[in-house]
Amino acid sequence: MSKRQRTQVGIIGAGPAGLLLARLLQVQGIESVVLEARTRDYVEARIRAGVLEQGTVALLEEAGVTERLRREGLVHDGAEIAVGGRRVRIDFRALTGKTVTVYGQTEITRDLIAARLAGDGAIIWQAADVAIHDIETARPRLTYKHAGTAHELVCDFIAGCDGFHGVSRSALPDSSRQTFERVYPFGWLGILADVAPCSDELIYAHHDRGFALASMRSPTRSRYYVQCGLDEKLEEWPDERIWRELEIRLDCDPPPNITTGPSIEKSIAPLRSFVSTPMQHGRLFLAGDAAHIVPPTGAKGLNLAASDVHYLSRALLAHYKKQDDGLLGAYGETALARVWKAERFSWWMTTLLHKLHDKTSFEAQMQRAELDYLASSRAAQTVLAENYVGLPF
């Protein structure tokens, strides 16, 4: 006999998308229960990116979780592109009037969890065997096991925020589901170290040896990436080799002040572009990585999840506060219109900056011409800037 519970919105996944949605609903008096397969310690320790669009910061402000972000976040007015031995600065504030904020996804997750629990919202950690039922009815259900006991959660709506490998996307009918994917023939080797950043702003580097990125998490913690082969192993990349490679790929004028030190985390991640449609069926709505993946080059992953949550939270608020289901019915198409624009930008940044072709090929010459044009054209820089800081919701 399973234990039965009732809520308004059942949310699968305690990543940023699920937690932000839960919090936005919570402050409006709408009940939800969050189911998470992992432990709290695991979720709070995951290392992820942290470049936030202004729209994402505004949503976090609305959720009431920006006290620490405002104190510790780093506001950036621009970013730099290093190519051909020189650095080209893209001035976001001058070109768009907007900025971005560097604040780690790990910290956002911790802030959202703390706010959720302080407000007596339910997060069910280590929810096993989660399954979705009856999404075409007015009472969809979630079943799961927790601490050896079977549970049933009856909802008005279900939000699938459980990532690329979660159960939500597969709950949509096969007959209506369509996927679009591009897998890139390289990965990113990332290193996290407690050393001062080499620059006040991010540096994206295009080099004959491959792409590199100099980023940061705080004034004392740096995050670097180098393009690597998919078949390479972490043990082939001791810290000394990574620092040396970064010095080569980031060799430009003015030279960045790279401080080396022992890594506290290293990983190799493949890059892909992925979109699954539709993003809704019946009373099931997908948000974040459950519906789409972007390569990290354009800093869109977390921000795209936030834009999904913006649209979905507004739609649920209209349903409960105004008895208006127009936004719910349009959610998938509305969210996808922004998803595809972010996919385009992330794909463009990835193909612009990475080593993809032999340097004597036609394609490589086109890549260099595009970079030269970007360096000399305010219009081209404006296009990059307005996409990087985030298109309007």
3-state SS, one letter per residue, for 247-309:
HHHCCCECCCCCCCCCEEEEEEEEEEEEEEECCEECCEEECHHHCEECCHHHCCHHHHHHHHH
Where does the pLDDT of residue 48 fall: very low under 50, low under 70, confident under 90, or very high at 90 and above?
A: confident
**What are the CB-based long-range contacts (under 8 Å, 24+) for 314-322?**
316/9, 316/25, 316/30, 316/157, 317/25, 317/28, 317/30, 320/8, 320/28, 320/30, 321/28
Is 351's pLDDT higher than 70? Answer: yes
Report helix, strand or coil for 91: strand
What global pTM score does this model have? 0.96
Question: Per the domain annotation, does 278 fall within a domain?
Answer: yes
Is 1's pLDDT higher than 70? Answer: no
pLDDT tens for 199-210 read 999 999 999 999
Contact 294, 300 (CB under 8 A): yes
Question: Per the domain annotation, does 228 fall within a domain?
Answer: no
**Domain of residue 63, residue span:** 3-76+104-180+272-349
Contacts of 293 (CB under 8 A, 6+ apart): 164, 272, 273, 274, 301
Where does the pLDDT of residue 2 fall: very low under 50, low under 70, confident under 90, or very high at 90 and above?
A: confident
Token output for 46: 């995951």
Contact 299, 49 (CB under 8 A): yes
- For residues 194 and 209, give the distance between their C-alpha atoms in angstroms, rounded to a whole number: 26
Where does the pLDDT of residue 232 fall: very low under 50, low under 70, confident under 90, or very high at 90 and above?
A: very high
Question: Per the domain annotation, does 232 fall within a domain?
Answer: no
Query: How far from 39 is each of 77, 239, 290, CA to CA, in Å?
Result: 37, 30, 19
Q: Which residue has 């996804």 as its token pair?
A: 105
Omega before 254 cis (within 30°)?
yes
Q: State the average pLDDT for the chain.
A: 96
The set of catalytic residues is 76, 204, 296, 300, 388
**Per-residue pLDDT, 371:** 97
Is 185's pLDDT higher than 90? Answer: yes
Of 253 and 136, more confident: 136
Is 47's pLDDT higher than 80? Answer: no
Of 221 and 119, more confident: 221
Name the phi and psi angles at 181, rounded to 5: -145, 145
CA torsion through residues 187, 165, 337, 278, sign? positive
- For residues 378 and 385, give the distance between their C-alpha atoms in angstroms, rounded to a whole number: 10
293: domain CATH number?
3.50.50.60
Is 342's pLDDT higher than 60? Answer: yes
Question: Per the domain annotation, does 161 fall within a domain?
Answer: yes
Question: Per the domain annotation, does 23 fall within a domain?
Answer: yes
**What are the strands, taking DSSP E only, across 62-148?**
74-76, 78-83, 86-91, 100-102, 122-125, 128-133, 141-146
Question: Per the domain annotation, does 196 fall within a domain?
Answer: no
Omega before 278 cis (within 30°)?
yes
Number of domains the chain is built from: 1
Question: Per the domain annotation, does 72 fall within a domain?
Answer: yes
Query: How far from 202 is each of 27, 76, 107, 223, 292, CA to CA, in Å?
Result: 34, 9, 19, 10, 25
Question: Per the domain annotation, does 377 fall within a domain?
Answer: no
Query: How far from 252 is each of 60, 141, 205, 359, 373, CA to CA, in Å?
Result: 36, 57, 9, 19, 18
User: 267, 285, 168: which is closest to 224 by C-alpha?
Assistant: 267
Query: What is the b/e burial string over 31-63, where b = at least 16 CB atoms within 10 angstroms of the residue's CB?
Result: bbbbbbbbebeebeeebebbbbbbbbbbbbebb
Average pLDDT of span 247-256: 93
- For residues 121 and 103, give the distance between their C-alpha atoms in angstroms, rounded to a whole number: 24
Helix-then-strand count for the chain, H and E? 11, 21
Is 295's pLDDT higher than 70? Answer: yes
Name the phi and psi angles at 122, rounded to 5: -90, 130
Where does the pLDDT of residue 46 fall: very low under 50, low under 70, confident under 90, or very high at 90 and above?
A: confident
- For residues 17 and 168, give the distance between their C-alpha atoms in angstroms, rounded to a whole number: 14
The total of other beta-carbon atoms located within 10 Å of residue 198's CB is 19
User: 91, 114, 108, 106: which is closest to 57 by C-alpha?
Assistant: 108
